[in-house]
Chain A
Amino acid sequence: MATSKSDMKGFFKQKKKSGGITKAKAKSSSTKKSLSPKRSATYGSDITQPAALISHGSPDIEDDYDEKEEVLRQFDMNMAYGPCLGMSRLARWERAKSLGMNPPEDIGHLLKAGKVGAECLWEGRV
């Protein structure tokens, strides 16, 4: 790059410092939760959506999940319970239970209560 250091700031358009990934503008309401990927695999880092890329637009993916979803994602990623794709989370938990793997009971309660994502992290995205 031929520009000198002092020009770097002018090269990239300035962006408001909002810390981390910004929330997207209100999208058309996605009624089917399973269809629109609302989850991000990169928690706390902006490696896939660096500030430079979203300086003129908005992130592709929304990122609003709470700690319940985080717990469920860890359950999805746990290799001991087998592959997570192609099965609903509850079915996978039931399978783990019937195979004698003693999955944590609170995940079972969380899934049966029904207010959390029923499908795994990668559902619809792979």
Chain B
Amino acid sequence: METEDSSSENGLLHRKQALYSSLDSCFEIQKEMYRGQQYSQIYFARLHLMRTLLYSLLPNWKPHIHVCTVIGLEEGKECIIVGTLYKHMKLKPSILEEYSKERSATPLVRPHNFMHPDDHLILEDESGRIKVCGDVLLPSVYVTGVVVALHGKETGTGDFWVEDVMEAGIPHQIERPIKSGEDKYVIFVSGLDIGSSTSNPLKFQLLVDHITGHLGDKKEQSIAAKIVRVIIAGNSVEIPRGLLNGQNLGSKDQFTLSEPIKELDIQLTQIAAGIPVDIMPGPNDPANFSLPQQPLHRCLFPSSSAYNTFRSCPNPHLFQLDDVSLLGTSGQNIDDLEKYSDANDKLEFLERTLRWRHVAPTAPNTLGCYPFTDRDPFFVETCPHVYFVGNQEKYETRLIKGAEGQIVRLICIPRFSETGVAVVLNLRNLECHALSFGTEFG
């Protein structure tokens, strides 16, 4: 599929196109069969996958140090151990507290973050677990589920004193051919929250009109003609859950319940009629709860799913546009990291997940996840060029560079219903800017 020239012929502007391929097959769970397994299987798959990787990286890091398992540790002997980190958190809510006579410590000022100065890390593999101490591995940075290699020694008290830590690191990236090309834009938007009291339908209509070229003069339309795809990253509707109280719904209530989705379908039809659109489910959307969230069903979008430009995608979503690979989620993974660890900004959480090579390390510990037995689909095989997360407070972006020359554009997409901001990415040079829509007068 080649691009068409966007200069006008006979006064008509043509929209540019980009070659799209979806790599979401690893996130589909239709073929999985639940046999009563527990989460130990996915942890084993993750540990095995990442341990094999870390073992291959050890010769470049510390080639002469002996490698052993937790049970093979000898006191005072310097060695390297590889395992899954578990963070013991005092304030982490536990279902067992309901049954204990004494309540746990009262929450701190920030109840939505469960960190405590007494949190400590434990490294675990199949043979055993050992408490990790030292200043190198900060409990505030790490979360349960990250697989790392630790260099250190066992102390007299039975803890492991860490001298150095190695993470899996940013994976290898397929290089993009360096060619000037032409500007092609991708629009990211999330948190439309149609049906909620905060969403303003006029703002979204403005966005739709801008994308489809119904706004502005020729110059502005020619810019809009360079938009090749729209990605909607979760939380597109807000279903009035107050109606769902366990009783049978009357026809009026059923109508009210389905109104937000119908409105979304109408808007999506307008977009899909002119431009390819990907819609991902988010935490509030009518999709399954645990990750990977499956694509929203076609029957929710009777008119827009008639278009072949309409595509319902899972969360997380991995795809390729021309030669740019993009990976992103609707926000659950980063929001969960924010509850259990600390960072300067959301982009730092994003960068950490890339360096840990795992999109959602806290799954299945504190983030709902399907109990896979033989694979861990959240493992990042190759480095994407664009890594985005939806439903964040504000628009933030950064370009990070890896050790092997990888370049990744990190994007935090803000909630459109609150901010009126969508994100525009230029595929040619990975530059990003915000597109903001306001409806106030004066």
Chain A residues with CB under 8 Å of chain B are 79-80, 82-83, 85-88, 91, 94-95, 98-101
Residues of chain B within 8 A (CB-CB) of A86 are 35-38, 40-41, 371, 373
B123-164 interface mask toward A, CB cutoff 8 Å, 1 = contact, 0 = none? Answer: 000110000000000000000000000000000000000000
Rounded to whole Å, the gap between the CB of A58 and the closest CB of chain B is: 30
Q: Are A83 and B127 in contact (CB under 8 A)?
A: no
Residues of chain A within 8 A (CB-CB) of B48 are 82, 99, 101
Q: How far is the CA of A80 from the CA of B44 in the complex (A)?
A: 10
Q: How many residues of B contact A (CB 8 A)?
A: 16
Q: Are A87 and B41 in contact (CB under 8 A)?
A: yes
Residues of chain A within 8 A (CB-CB) of B36 are 86
Total A-B contacts with CB atoms under 8 angstroms apart: 43
Q: Are B45 and A87 in contact (CB under 8 A)?
A: no
Known: A79-B127, A99-B48. A85 touches B38 (CB 8 A): yes
Residues of chain A within 8 A (CB-CB) of B38 are 83, 85-86
Q: Are A82 and B44 in contact (CB under 8 A)?
A: yes
Rounded to whole Å, the gap between the CB of A83 and the closest CB of chain B is: 4
Q: Contacts A80-B126, A85-B37, A100-B52 given; 12 further ones with Cβ under 8 A?
A: A79-B127, A82-B40, A82-B44, A83-B40, A86-B35, A86-B37, A86-B38, A91-B35, A94-B374, A95-B374, A99-B48, A99-B374
Q: Flag whether B49 is at the interface (Cβ < 8 A).
A: yes
* 28 A/B residue pairs, CB under 8 Å, sorted by A: A80-B126, A82-B44, A82-B48, A82-B126, A83-B41, A83-B44, A85-B37, A85-B38, A85-B40, A86-B38, A86-B40, A86-B41, A86-B373, A87-B35, A87-B41, A87-B373, A88-B35, A91-B35, A91-B373, A94-B374, A95-B45, A95-B373, A95-B374, A98-B374, A99-B45, A99-B48, A99-B49, A100-B52
Q: How far is the CA of A80 from the CA of B371 in the complex (A)?
A: 20
A98, A99, A101, most chain B CB atoms within 10 A: A99
Within 332-374 of B, Cβ neighbours of A (below 8 Å) are at 371, 373-374
Q: How far is the CA of A94 from the CA of B40 in the complex (A)?
A: 17
Q: How far is the CA of A94 from the CA of B371 in the complex (A)?
A: 17
Residues of chain B within 8 A (CB-CB) of A99 are 45, 48-49, 374
Q: How far is the CA of A88 from the CA of B41 in the complex (A)?
A: 12
Q: How far is the CA of A91 from the CA of B127 in the complex (A)?
A: 22
Rounded to whole Å, the gap between the CB of A77 and the closest CB of chain B is: 12
Residues of chain B within 8 A (CB-CB) of A91 are 35, 373-374
Q: How far is the CA of A79 from the CA of B40 in the complex (A)?
A: 12
Residues of chain B within 8 A (CB-CB) of A101 are 48
Known: A95-B374, A98-B374. A87 touches B49 (CB 8 A): no
Q: How far is the CA of A98 from the CA of B374 in the complex (A)?
A: 9
Rounded to whole Å, the gap between the CB of B378 and the closest CB of chain A is: 16
